[in-house]
Structure 1
Amino acid sequence: MPSRRRMLQMLGAAGALGAGGWALFGNTRANAYYQGPISDHFDGLRFYNPGQAGPRG
């Protein structure tokens, strides 16, 4: 049976890995792109300035 110190180290490492994985992958998948209602400056996917020339390239 592992000592108390070793057990706490293992639990801490598992918690740190879990929190790091959630921070890296949990939030990025949920909102890869902003999605919202269509308006004068937003087409549902991108923001733009009406009346200006389109993107070059």
Structure 2
Amino acid sequence: SLEREVARERLVPRDEADDLFQRLMAIAETAAQIPKRQDAMTEDEILGYDELGIPTR
């Protein structure tokens, strides 16, 4: 039944959390290799805020 299947699944060792962590770390390392742009926008410019924090869009 369903209870038996759930119990059986809990007994099976899983590396999913570790695998997910490794995949996320690989993505982070790849992203860290992207060079920064000289004329990059600030976070406020990206979001559309001016120097006073007022939305400009």
Provide the TM-score with structure 1 as the length reference: 0.39
Give 1 or 2: higher helix fraction. Answer: 2
Provide the TM-score with structure 2 as the length reference: 0.39
Between 1 and 2, higher relative CO (CA 8 Å, sep ≥ 6) is seen in 1
